[in-house]
Homo-oligomer: A and B are copies of this chain.
Amino acid sequence: MTGAIIDGTQIGEQIRAELHDRVAELVTQGFRPGLGVILVGDDPASAAYVRMKERRCADLGMHSDNTTLPSDASERDVIAAVDRLNRSPDVHGILVQMPLPAHIDSRRVIQAVAPDKDVDGLHTVNLGRLMAGEEGFVPCTPLGVLELLKRTDSNGLSGAEVVVVGRSALVGLPLANLLMQRGIDATVTVCHSKTRNLAEQTRRAQILIAAIGRAEFIRGDMVSDGTIVIDVGINRVDDPSKKRGYRIVGDVAYDDVAPKASAITPVPGGVGPMTIAMLLQNTVTACERITRSR
């Protein structure tokens, strides 16, 4: 058997179709959800991401507000741009495109975003709300993983044994906190570089989530038959056969693991496309909360 492929591209499209209706409903009430994006510098990959976000907003009938600052912009300039978006009534969600140039402290910039517009979910207040089980914003990649699981696992997440490998503040930790919340109710173990007998832990998993940042780290002998495998990794490995000289692989050795998995995300085309769908979803949610509070 080879596991079902969890098609993040297709699920992302479904979600955008659902969002299209929510945006239309908001527009009839006189609100147009708006995403404000700040790009610092001229990294071509970052610029391409920002253009894609702008295009996706337009497709859904959302407003977007893009600010591009030169690569030598000061931290103060960036925070001033954030502050303008904090105050703009047309902007409901704010994204600062990462990475920022090295002379800027990313944490300080993220903390400058108004928590109720922090659709990236990275502000300390939103991480705290997540732990406390309060309404806030969940970071986009963890939220995308949850959506993939909800739309994949017919047995449900409640009580399921989930093993998360990786404990980053961006993915592993918020994801673990999200999955153990009331109403989701997974039994979650977080493993990391200091974990003894990692393979014993991963073989216990009914759902295994790899968010380590090491190319093809999870091998077939670390996975039990029938496991659902979610691969959050995006790693470049040299590949002279490719025109650009590298290819993108996940944290899971796909060909080795897929035959044992009951379902598995490919890389690319798994978690990646969900991240932007969740950014748009958080922005629509931010706008809905504002209409609700009026």
Chain A residues packing against B (C-beta within 8 Å): 107, 123-134, 158-159, 161, 167, 169, 173-174, 177, 180, 182, 185, 187-192, 194-196, 201
Contact = CB atoms under 8 A, between A and B. Distances in A.
A107 B123 CA distance: 19
Contacts of A126: 128
Task: Summarize A's interface: helix, strand, loop or mixed.
Answer: mixed
Nearest to A186: B194
A32 to B, nearest CB: 30
Contact of A159 (B107, B123, B196): B196
Contact of A132 (B127, B158, B180, B182): B127
A131 B130 contact: yes
A194 B182 CA distance: 9
Given A187-B189, A190-B180, A128 B133 contact: no
A105 to B, nearest CB: 12
A121 to B, nearest CB: 11
Copies of this chain present in the complex amount to 2
Given A159-B196, A187-B194, A169 B127 contact: no
Contact of A191 (B131, B187, B194, B195): B187
Nearest to A198: B187
Which of A129, A158, A195 has the most chain B CB within a 10 Å cutoff?
A: A195
Contact of A194 (B127, B159, B177, B196): B159
Given A158-B194, A187-B201, 18 more contacts: A107-B134, A125-B128, A128-B129, A128-B131, A131-B131, A132-B169, A159-B196, A161-B196, A167-B180, A173-B177, A173-B180, A177-B177, A180-B192, A185-B194, A187-B189, A187-B192, A188-B190, A189-B189
A167 to B, nearest CB: 6
Given A124-B129, A128-B126, A190 B187 contact: yes
A71 to B, nearest CB: 27
